[in-house]
Amino acid sequence: MEGKTMKRFGTLIMAAVLGSALTIGAFVGFGVTNKEKTVKIKQISGTPAVRAVYTVNEDGEVVPLEFTGISKQVMPAVVHIQSIQHRNIPDGYEDIPDQFRDFFNDDLFEYFFGPQYRNQQPENQRDESERIMGSGSGVIISEDGYIVTNNHVIESADELEVILDDNRVFEAKVIGTDPSTDLALLQIEETGLPVIPFANSDEVEVGEWVLAVGNPFMLNSTVTAGIVSATGRNINILQDRSAIESFIQTDAAINPGNSGGALVNMQGGLIGINTAIASPTGAYAGYGFAVPSNIVSKVIEDLIEFGTVQRGFLGITIRNVDGNLADELDLDVTQGVYVDSIAGNSAAGDAGVKSGDVILEVDGQEVKNNAELLGIVGRKRPGDKISLKVDRKGKELDFNVTLRSQEGETKITRTSQVEILNVLGVEIQEIDRETARELDIDGGLRIIRLSSGVLRSQTDVRVGFIITMVDNKPVRTVDEFVSLLEDRSGGVMIEGVYEDYPGTYYYAFGL
């Protein structure tokens, strides 16, 4: 790595020196005269340094490296997203000294008093000083207003504004979210919008040039250039239990505000959504990470078609194979994915895969680590069939696996996008069996997002609440929840639990 870094650094220095030499030559050639006590300086047109860096095209021809055409092509389709969250001010807050007020936020009060803490001040009485502004980026993917961004950009927002490259402002609606990949899909009411087409992220190669486009530090329409530093990176940044991290790593400068922006190739195709940086300071330190476009495409399709992401699971626990693990377990390979254990009702286990096997290929594609395996399987749905090649004590075996959901099903589940959920301002998702067992409940519906609606305006309920009962009737599925509430009027009581707080909580509201 150090050698490669020094080589690239040397190339940049060579380019800079050459550019300086050309510039100095221009000034020396034209000269500076003060014969008439005036200074006349002639300047060359353009910047010579632009022509000092070259690359090789697909035909093997040496051509100047420049990004102006691609930048003009993609910038109009990258938007600035402002998330607005109404801050809850508790009683007595105005008596707290100014220097301590920043410590008394919602999270701190919730820590001490539990999730029921919420200020009851009506939304129409809040002033501008009580609004927390967040900033991020998004990519327009369809002419009719669909925009993809990061889930963490819009999470917990009460309002979302999308600012286009031409400064037009629109209110955005959340179509769906997927915390396991940190992606979210928005829509604005507009047509004829510019878009960035998707490229095949499986074809991305280490070393190829890329551009990162976004709005770092509130600086709209910013473009940075770099190369793909690695693929299939897992940096353990997503906290979701089913997180899929198979990032594209780049050294194009990515900073706070770039989240949700575009990573594009030299053809102007979207190869990733910028998501995270590795930094000791919180600002750019050389490495950024993007969700590959093939994962993005699958998540978007699921959210539009089914209302929730359909993810297939092998039903195994895994770890990376390296030289140390190979020596410890006497394996015949030094790369791949080691099957540590087989879960109950496992799709891979039922197909014949055993603990101790090392997965080498999925659908004929080599996998060297966990991230690559998760990236491929994460693009599949329950019921999809995949082929696995494994090493079992030096012998290669092939298995055909029919993927299942976390609940062990092969069928597709749909989230009902009905009027009652919009009235409530809630997005809910059925919990898996493992979570239900841990909480000692039969099942329930987790609130994964709250927006403007009855629940936010009339109750203190928080994201993460698991609804187990509606008016003393158990609910396990979205359809059950909807059927109990649609065409309903009057008071309603929901009952449930939080994963991180003991006890049962009750919330009442009126329809």
Top-confidence residue, 308 or 172? 172
> What local confidence, expressed as pLDDT, does residue 471 receive?
93
Top-confidence residue, 385 or 55? 385
> What local confidence, expressed as pLDDT, does residue 486 receive?
80
Say how many CA atoms lie within 13 Å of 267 toward its Cβ: 12
> What local confidence, expressed as pLDDT, does residue 7 receive?
37
Catalytic residue among 152, 246, 357, 391: 152
357 sits in which H/E element: none
Residues 225, 264 contacting (CB under 8 angstroms): no
> What local confidence, expressed as pLDDT, does residue 289 receive?
95
- 73: its two tokens: 């092509």
> What local confidence, expressed as pLDDT, does residue 3 receive?
40
Domain 67-307, CATH: 2.40.10.120
Q: Does the annotation mark 45 as catalytic?
A: no
> What local confidence, expressed as pLDDT, does residue 172 receive?
93
> What local confidence, expressed as pLDDT, does residue 243 receive?
83
Nearest CA to 239 among 276, 279, 202? 276
Lowest mean pLDDT among 106-115, 357-366, 409-418, 497-506: 106-115
186-222 per-position pLDDT tens digit: 999 999 999 999 999 999 999 999 999 999 988 888 9
> What local confidence, expressed as pLDDT, does residue 92 receive?
53
Residues 385, 401 contacting (CB under 8 angstroms): yes
Summary mean pLDDT of the chain: 81
Q: Which of the listed CATH numbers 3.40.50.1820, 2.30.42.10, 3.90.280.10, 1.25.40.10 matches domain 419-510?
A: 2.30.42.10
Domain boundaries, the chain: 2-65, 67-307, 316-402, 419-510
What's the rounded mean pLDDT across residues 19-45? Answer: 40
Q: Which residue has the tokens 């910047």?
A: 47
Same fold, 67-307 and 419-510: no
> What local confidence, expressed as pLDDT, does residue 32 receive?
43
What's the rounded mean pLDDT across residues 61-85? Answer: 88
What's the rounded mean pLDDT across residues 29-37? Answer: 43
pTM: 0.72
> What local confidence, expressed as pLDDT, does residue 97 receive?
56
> What local confidence, expressed as pLDDT, does residue 74 receive?
96
444-502 per-position pLDDT tens digit: 999 987 877 789 888 989 989 999 999 999 999 888 898 898 878 889 999 999 998 88
> What local confidence, expressed as pLDDT, does residue 114 receive?
53
Could you tell me the pLDDT band of residue 130, with boundaries at 50, 70 and 90?
low
In a 3-state reduction of DSSP, which class is residue 473? Answer: strand
Residue 282 has pLDDT above 80, yes or no: no
Q: Does the annotation mark 259 as catalytic?
A: yes
Highest mean pLDDT pick, 5-9, 55-59, 452-456: 452-456
Q: Phi, psi (5° rounding) for residue 31?
A: 80, 170
> What local confidence, expressed as pLDDT, does residue 501 receive?
86
Q: Phi, psi (5° rounding) for residue 86?
A: -80, 120
> What local confidence, expressed as pLDDT, does residue 34 receive?
45
C-alpha–C-alpha distance, residues 454 and 458, integer Å: 6
Catalytic residue among 259, 293, 346, 451: 259
CA angle 481, 486, 489 (to 5 degrees): 115
Could you tell me the pLDDT band of residue 129, with boundaries at 50, 70 and 90?
very low
> What local confidence, expressed as pLDDT, does residue 21 receive?
32
Top-confidence residue, 439 or 30? 439
> What local confidence, expressed as pLDDT, does residue 309 receive?
87
Domain 316-402, CATH: 2.30.42.10
Residue 337 has pLDDT above 90, yes or no: yes
> What local confidence, expressed as pLDDT, does residue 98 receive?
56
Catalytic residue among 178, 182, 251, 357: 182
